Amino acid sequence: MSAFDFDIAVVGAGPAGLAAAALAASKGASVVLLDEQAEPGGQIYRAVTETPVRDRKVLGPDYWHGAELLGPLRDSGAAHWPGSTVWSVARPREDGPDGQRRIQIGLSRNGAAALLTVRHVILATGALERPFPIPGWTLPGVLGAGAAQVLLKTSGLVPSGATVMAGSGPLLWLLAWQYLQAGARIDAILDTTPKENWRAALPLLPGFLRSPYLGKGMKLMLEVRRKLTVIGNVTALRAEGGLAGEGVLKSVVYTRNGTEHRLPADTLLLHHGVIPNLNLANATGCAQRWDEQQRCWRPTTDEWGATSVEGVSLAGDGAGIGGARAAEEAGRLTALDALHRLGRIGREQRDHSAAPFRAALDRALTGRAFLDTLYTPAEAFRVPADDTIVCRCEEITAGAVREAVRLGCSGPNQAKSFLRCGMGPCQGRLCGPTVTEVIAAERGVSPAEVGYYRLRPPVKPITLAELAALPKTDADIDAVFKH
């Protein structure tokens, strides 16, 4: 076997990827962990080894749990290739020299590209913030709460000046609490959780009362509400800039109980949940389905994370939102199944070893249905007004998408031809869910009928020079990636 021919490649070094790589390598499989970031941790544990925020109370104990996943990875013997962008996962047409089918992975690092071959791929690509298109969301000073949290973790930065947070979901409350611990200024939280969501979620409350996160979540929210101005029942939002809407953010206009109000703001942090980062799985050919409860597309997997593509599995939030602890356990289950499929362990050993991880996964997911129902974004924010930009890369408005539907556009893939939606650098990450919902609403059908973008590699930008200079030998790859 070549030094660059692995049994298993794990894509993504968040909780699912770290746990999967460590377990698989500890059982004797040759494993490579590929991740875009310079340090492991993913988004939830971003910069856990090097964050300048040394006061542990600021980010909270759940964040620091990420450091506990690094030791097992180091001890396992898995290869870790940081700074690697995976832009393609595709099976070769021919079998490998040992008669085993190989999966080919295209990746780039430091401006150079290479093709690796592996026997099994575990995609642990995590989650993305759900797009939150409102008028003015492209103004300087408006960003996602997740992006703001990354700045806090990696650089210890918090906004200066008047800061408004808007939206709903656990991350919004967590970031507000972290900002309070860091001594940051927050002028108001505009809660967009629809009142009717509480009625829908109430029957699911008994299950949530058994959730391990109930106590922590209630304590966190009570502290935030005690110290900050929280304005509920917000049904409309827009960000305003300078004269004629130009320049940087100056104010946030919100509607509550039918009346508009204006708050001065230098920073507006938007959030209404996260969705699976499914672009790589989509481009690999993995089947996907519309998740009505989480209002997003998610890859179709079995209880072990196996997808419709042989040799490709998914673990963690990339397969459906469950949170960091659930992702960790799912990563271990997926690794055990990969080992079984590769013939390294038997079915009985797989199932026996999986029992404690599956029990932990069930505990971590307890009450998830309540949260998904409670924090379902209001339709007004999922399906914006005509003048709101939905595709930031191509500056396409919701009105333009609706006009394309009236001209015969039936889904997101047709919208590419009509408008170039989804063809920019983000490859649909910031517009895909919104374009699907806008088309579905205009046609009067379910998003499941409308479908999603059909993606093809490369799923991340790559230059022609990189493609032309693909290494031809192991020695060439060694020069690019090993050092």
Determine the average pLDDT of the residues in 327-346: 98
Alpha-carbon Rg for the chain in angstroms: 23
- Residues 347-381 pLDDT 10s: 999 999 999 999 999 999 999 999 999 999 999 99
Residue 1: band (very low, low, confident or very high) from pLDDT cuts 50, 70, 90: very low
* pLDDT at residue number 472: 63
pLDDT of residue 86: 97
Residue range of the domain that includes 218 = 131-272
Mean per-residue pLDDT for 91-117? 79
What are the tokens at 92? Answer: 């070769």
Do residues 204 and 292 both lie within one domain? no
Write down the pLDDT at residue 482: 54
- Judge whether residue 4 has pLDDT over 70: no
Residue 481 has pLDDT above 90, yes or no: no
Q: Is pLDDT of 116 > 80?
A: yes
Domain shared by 249 and 282, yes or no: no
pLDDT digits (tens, 9 = 90+) for 134-178: 999 999 999 999 999 999 999 999 999 999 999 999 999 999 999
**pLDDT value of residue 470:** 83
* Residues 18, 123 within the same domain: yes
pLDDT(325) > 70: yes
Backbone angles phi, psi at 83, to 5 degrees: 65, 25
| Residue 101 pLDDT > 90 | no
Burial code of 83-122, b = ≥16 C-beta within 10 A, e = fewer?
ebbbbbbbbeeeeeeeeeebbebbbbbeebbbbbbbbbbb
- Give me the percent of the chain exceeding a pLDDT of 90: 85
Distance CA 187, CA 273 (A): 21
| Residues 167 and 188 sit within 8 Å (Cβ to Cβ) | no
Overall domain count for the chain: 3
The more confidently predicted of residues 167 and 114 is 167
Q: What is the mean pLDDT of residues 42-58?
A: 94
193 and 296 co-located in one domain: no
- Residue 483 confidence (pLDDT) above 50: no
Question: Using CA atoms, how far apart are residues 437 and 124, in angstroms rounded to an integer?
Answer: 26
Whether 130 has a pLDDT exceeding 80, the answer reads yes
Q: Same structural domain for residues 268 and 135?
A: yes
Residue 112 has pLDDT above 90, yes or no: no
pTM: 0.94
Percentage of the residues of the chain whose pLDDT score is greater than 70: 94
The mean pLDDT value of the chain amounts to 93
Using 50, 70 and 90 to split pLDDT, how confident is the model at 243?
A: low
Task: Report how far residue 330's alpha carbon sits from residue 359's, in angstroms, rounded to the nearest whole number.
Answer: 11
- CATH (domain of 443): 1.10.10.1100
Same domain, 167 and 258: yes
pLDDT surpasses 90 at 45: yes
248 occurs within a structural domain: yes
Q: What is the pLDDT of residue 471?
A: 72
**Residue 457 maps to a domain:** no
pLDDT of 478 strictly over 80: no
The per-residue pLDDT for 94 is 55
Q: Quick one: 189 and 83 in the same domain?
A: no
- Residue partners of 178: CB distance under 8 A and separation at least 6: 58, 59, 60, 149, 152
Over the stretch 381-406, which tens digit does the pLDDT of each residue have? 999 999 999 999 999 999 999 999 99
Which of 257, 272, 287 terminates a domain? The answer is: 272
Residue 103, domain CATH: 3.50.50.60
Work out the average pLDDT over 439-460.
94
The SS3 call for residue 346 is coil
